[in-house]
Amino acid sequence: MPAIIPNPEPSADSRSQMSIVIVGHVDHGKSTIIGRLLAETGSLPSGKLEQVREMCRRNARPFEYAFLLDALKDEQAQGITIDTARCFFKTEKRHYILIDAPGHIEFLKNMITGAARAEAVLLTIDAHEGIQENTRRHGYMVSMLGIRQISVLVNKMDLVDYDQAVFERIKAEYTAFLKNLQIEPVSFIPISGMEGTNMVARGAATPWYSGPTVLEQIDAFAPKAAPVNFPFRLPVQDIYKFTEQNDDRRIVGGTIETGTIRAGDNVTFYPSRKKSRVKTIEYFNGPEKTTAAAGEAPGFTLHTQIYIKPGELMVRDDETPPHIGSRFRVNLFWMGHAPMIRGKTYKLKLGAARVPVKLAEVLNVLDASELSSVQNKQQVDRHDVAECVLEAAKPVAFDVAGEIERTGRLVIVDNHEIAGAGIILAPISDEDSTLKEHIRQREAMWRPSAITRELRINAYRHGAKFIVLTGESAAAGERVAAALENLLFRGNFKAYYLGISNVTSGLDADRAAVTEIDSEQIRRIGELARIMTDAGLIFITSLPGIDEHDLRTLELLNQPHEILVVNLGENRFTGYTPHLSLAADATPEAAAAGALQLLKQKEVILEYYL
Amino acid sequence: MNHLDKLEAQSVHILREAYREFKSLVMLWSIGKDSTVLLWLARKAFFGHMPFPLMHVDTHYKLPAMITYRDRLALEFKLDLIVGENTAALAAKETFPDGKLSRIDCCRKLKSEALKHTLSGEWPRLRIDHATGTLVPDPSREAFTGVIVGARADEEGSRSKERYFSPRDKQNDWDVGDQPPELWNQYKTDFAPGTHVRVHPLLDWTELNIWEYIHRENIPIIDLYFNHGDGKRYRSLGCYPCTGPVESEARTVAEIIAELRTGKFANIAERSGRAQDKEDGGGLETLRREGYM
């Protein structure tokens, strides 16, 4: 790869950039505040202020700064004000993007989108109206989104005659509210957006106030530091190979959420627990890198060729490992039109991991505007904040949000849309997982046949078994499965090979196109195996590319009968040993003979019957 | 990390999400500075490779230097270039330069419609053949479900409301009022059959950031952006009947950066040289809802 040497930066504008969101209840004066800030920092297009003043004069209306913003928005948004609008302004210190988040409850998902991009928050409260529903709700959302810098602007002080007692009362009440959310606001500022008091210039009307003005506060916000002082976490987006372009690198790519790493570090990928060591840090068209830190999106080559999948979490071996599990307690905020209900399968996105997930239990639903809880609710409605237990179809690697915020966050997809967002409060042991509970119930209800297992063994001359062929190649697995079925049948044993396409077009016909083996298909095959082994058969199937978790699920579902796993080619499992491992290029006949040998060893097929 | 590093990392992350989630992905390449930076960012994301095709909609009224530059870069970077056009409208001379349409209707025909039908695979496409270095008919009729576009929020009004991953329904419609939430690096990557998603990795970049990055990375950029001694340069590129240059002495990337930093253009829209915007009330929203990029 020819190296292109980058240019040094031309005498850079040293001012940095910061995103700030302004939130608050509808009509608590956000537009006026923004209009005033833009005008007083000279950030308006030339002539705009005069134009709006002239328009007001002609319509015999008093001039308001809010009209200014509306006029800007009309141009910018053609009258659509429901979405977050971004305004740009700058001070001597830095450039700002001021995100105007809608105050109306209907547009909460837009508010979330806007606020999630911000490093600091200006929250407005109307001094005259006091704390309202969305004042609390927005405070709650801001805390969940992980923004810690909040300045509270007590606006419209002119309407209460700049009464310090009103300001102090609101300050005390809202401080107490935020304390419940573990937020300590950086300041409370008494202002009047209309009269400009304490916006840019200090107001004469509030001699009792000595804190910063709004603009001083904005400049005093600390930029959000990259979380480098945390354990290294890299959600793996993909493993890239561009071999057809004569590039033999195999590169693990992703964005570093937290921490730092250097070439030579020993790493583990979770949940597979595969281990390796970082060989190189890859970055196109830049100087060679030997270290990388939070916020960067480099690539890594490893010393050993290990089989890992997108969605795993790369972690340094000398640092705290993440939690691995499929059940966790979360604080979840729901934006979907349809409620989140139990029994329905959703899609969980956590870092780079995507797995099916179900709502296992609703512990407590919080009315976010009042912070009072509603007990005994069985579903999560739109705009609810709920503490609940989620159960993923497969274990994922995660952190508790209180420890490492960035890898303790998740979103839930319902019907192609991000409908929920949450933070993980604690892992929950897998002991009482829904699967184990299901098997307990199923076995309790199972009607045993009058033809006992022993009777069948005597009649069929062999025990029942579920044989799973796995490996990288689907074609090789199918050939071996067919050869084994043939070998057993010729020996007068009751064997049946189920081709996976028979399931896809039959049992799975109720599902949208299933293109690869997923957890629902594993469940169906496992239940089928339970029935087929109950019938006393040697039940064979080929499931290429499945992982150790899938195998454990099949093992559980097939109980009380046993499973035999035959792996073809490289053993890609950690913490799971296949019963038989065969070379990838073994002939189907040789492989089938090997499997038959194993059945004899396991006394599924009894020697004296041969 | 400085501001450009942060913007780069974010764009790389978005490009990798798109590559992971969309089976049939394409990047639109207008030959201009933004989509050329986007192309460069894809090479950043994929370690020097460009693992999906680039699509250019040829109106046949592009400044000729743009086509020369396009084909040169496509061969040099080994890009999988796809070219589409509205053959019928061009043959029937249904265009603004032929006097039959307004500027905006011409955009609609030669760009929006051509793009829509080229993306869906309904209209014939050309694809570059690296062996001969020429464009040949493309037998593939693959419909693209993920479309990467170089739109920036600061460029003009309607773009400030875009999401990084922005769904379009079967009619290509954009429902501005009901957009998906985006938070914590999680985007809308699931979509119903028949719909597609536009991906905007450059949403947070400004015009100045683009030039600073071109300078830092030494990205080969088409020289129509520079003043060649006549005191004029193009600030935004398009079709020659509707694109005018701006007054400028900037002859190099560094001089463009210096010029932008003076605030010379602070109150002049970047697309002020693009005559069709004015017909659309300055906002482009009508065109964008219909699929204009």
Query: Do A181 and A281 sit in the same domain of this protein?
Result: no
Residue A32: domain span:
16-220
pLDDT digits (tens, 9 = 90+) for A129-179: 998 887 888 888 888 888 889 999 999 999 999 999 999 999 999 999 999
Of B190, B212, B254, the CB nearest to A347: B190
Average pLDDT of B164-191?
79
Residues B284, B140, single domain; the answer is: yes
Contact between chains at B188 and A86 (C-beta distance less than 8 A): no
pLDDT averaged over every residue in chain A? 86
Helix (H) or strand (E) holding B5: helix B3-21
Tell whether A51 and A198 lie within a shared domain: yes
Q: How confident is the model at residue A479 (pLDDT cuts 50, 70, 90)?
A: very high
Is pLDDT at A305 greater than 80 in this prediction? Answer: yes
> CA-CA distance, A542 to A525, in Å (whole number)?
11
* Total CB pairs under 8 A between chain A and B: 154
Looking at the fold, whether A562 and A602 belong to one and the same domain comes out as yes
Percent of chain A with pLDDT over 90: 47
**Quick check: B166 pLDDT over 50?**
yes
Shared-domain flag, residues B27 and B93: yes
Asked if B261 reaches chain A (Cβ–Cβ under 8 Å), the answer is: yes
Could you tell me if B121 and B245 lie in one domain?
no
Last residue of one domain, picked from the residues A316, A344, A377: A316
| pLDDT score recorded for residue A29 | 81
Q: State the average pLDDT over residues A54-62.
A: 76
- Given CA atoms B55, B61, B64, B66 in this order, what sign does their dihedral have? negative
Select from B184, B191, B283 the Cβ nearest to the Cβ of A409: B184
In a domain, A384, yes or no: yes
What is the DSSP track for A224-265? PPP--SS--EEE--EEEE-GGGT---EEEE----BSEEETT-
CA distances from B44 to A276, B8, B16, B34 (A): 25, 9, 10, 15
**Residue B272 has what pLDDT?**
66
Which residues touch A537 (CB under 8 Å, ≥6 apart)?
A464, A494, A495, A496
Q: Looking at residue A248, which CATH number applies to its domain?
A: 2.40.30.10
Residue B237: give the domain boundaries.
220-277
Question: Chain A partners of B265 at a C-beta cutoff of 8 Å?
Answer: none
**CA-CA distances (angstroms) from residue B3 to A556, A588, B188, B209?**
52, 58, 25, 9
Q: How far is CA A133 from the centre of its chain?
A: 28
Mark which of A282, A316, A350 sits at the end of a domain. A316
Q: Bridge partners of B239?
A: B62
Count CA within 13 A, CB hemisphere, residue A503: 22
Q: What radius of gyration do chain A's Cα atoms show?
A: 31
Q: Is position B214 within any domain?
A: no
A465 and A564 co-located in one domain: yes
Q: Are residues B153 and B264 in the same domain?
A: no
pLDDT in tens, B64-116: 888 999 999 999 988 999 999 888 888 888 888 888 888 888 888 888 888 88
Identity of the residue in A4, A10, A295 whose CB atom sits nearest the CB atom of B218: A4
**Do B190 and B259 share a structural domain?**
no
Helix (H, G, I), strand (E, B) or coil at B25: strand
Give me the residue label for tokens 């200006």: A122
Contact residues on chain B for A297, CB-CB shorter than 8 A: 8-10, 12-13, 16, 45
Phi-psi region of B250 (alpha: psi -120 to 50; beta: other; left: phi over 0): beta
Cα angle B176, B153, B291 (rounded to 5 degrees) comes to: 50
In a shared domain, residues B199 and B249: no
pLDDT at position A83: 47
Same domain, residue pair B198 and B234: no
Yes or no: say if A331 and A248 are a contact pair by the CB < 8 Å rule: no
Total domain count, chain A: 4
- The pLDDT of residue B290 is 59
Distance (Å, rounded) from C-alpha A85 to C-alpha B157?
Answer: 10
pLDDT at A12 over 70: no
Residue A122 lies in a domain: yes
Q: 10 Å Cβ neighbour count for A412?
A: 27
* Stronger pLDDT, A16 or B126, i.e. the higher one: B126
> With contacts defined as CB-CB under 8 Å, which chain B residues touch A239?
none
**Each residue's pLDDT tens digit, A73-106:** 554 443 333 345 677 788 888 888 888 777 666 6
Burial of A47: CB neighbours in 10 Å, binned 0-12, 13-18, 19+? exposed
Q: Are residues A396 and A511 located together in one domain of the fold?
A: no
By Cβ distance, the residue of A17, A76, A285 closest to B44 is: A285
Contact B44 A75 (CB under 8 A): no
Which domain-ending residue is among A316, A346, A368? A316
**CATH number reported for the structural domain that contains residue B65 in this entry:** 3.40.50.620
A284 has a chain B CB within 8 A of its CB: yes
A5 touches chain B (CB under 8 A): yes
Asked if residue B212 belongs to a domain, the reply is no
A92 within a domain of the structure (yes/no):
yes
Q: Is residue B26 part of a domain?
A: yes
Residues A563, A427 share a domain: no
In a domain, B99, yes or no: yes
pLDDT tens-digit series, residues A395-419: 999 999 989 999 999 999 998 899 9
Decide if pLDDT at A371 tops 70: no
Could you tell me if A200 and A342 lie in one domain?
no
Whether B177 shows a pLDDT value over 90: the answer reads: no
Min Cα distance B198 → chain A (Å) is: 15
Residues A273 and A211 placed together within one structural domain of the fold:
no
| pLDDT > 70 fraction of chain A, expressed in percent and rounded | 90
On whether any CB of chain A is under 8 Å from the CB of B160, the answer is: yes
Same domain, A449 and A399: no
Tell whether A2 is covered by a domain: no
B250 and B200 in a common domain: no
pLDDT at position B174, please? 63
**pLDDT the model gives residue A80:** 34
Interface test with B, best of A13, A228, A285 (most B CBs within 10 A): A285
The domain that holds A543 is classified in CATH as 3.40.50.300
**Is residue B211 situated within a structural domain?**
no
Give yes or no: residues B224 and B108 share one domain. no
Domain assignment present for B76: yes
Q: What is the pLDDT of residues A415-467, one digit of tens each?
A: 889 999 999 999 998 665 778 888 888 988 899 889 998 899 888 988 999 99
Do B102 and B198 fall into the same domain?
yes
Size of chain A, expressed as the number of residues it contains: 610
pLDDT of residue A140: 85
A547-583 confidence digits (pLDDT tens): 888 898 999 999 888 899 999 988 888 778 899 998 8
B24 against A46, higher pLDDT: B24
My answer on whether B22 and B35 are in the same domain is: yes
Give me A396's structure tokens: 């994922």
Extract the tokens encoding B257. Answer: 């950066």
Distance from the Cα of A145 to chain B's closest Cα (Å) equals 8
Question: Are residues A71 and A213 located together in one domain of the fold?
Answer: yes
User: Taking CB atoms and an 8 Å cutoff, what residues of chain B touch A422?
Assistant: none
Residue B66 is assigned to a structural domain of this protein: yes
Question: Is residue A438 assigned to a domain?
Answer: no
B76–A contact, CB cutoff 8 A: no
The pLDDT-based confidence of A292 (bands split at 50, 70, 90) is: very high
Hey, is the C-beta of B219 within 8 angstroms of any chain A C-beta?
A: no
Complex ipTM over 0.85: yes
Domains in chain B, number: 2
Length of chain B (residues):
293
Same domain, A546 and A468: yes
Q: Are A136 and A185 in contact (CB under 8 A)?
A: no
The 10s digit of each residue's pLDDT in A203-261 is: 889 999 999 999 999 999 998 888 999 999 999 999 999 877 788 899 999 999 999 99
Are B45 and B102 found together in one domain?
Answer: yes
For residue B1, name the pLDDT band (cuts at 50, 70, 90): confident
Q: What is the pLDDT of residue A576?
A: 84
Chain A residues inside the 8 Å CB shell of B203: none
pLDDT above 80 (res B157): no
Is A378 found in the same domain as A267?
no
**What residues of chain A, 120 to 179, have a C-beta less than 8 Å from chain B?**
145
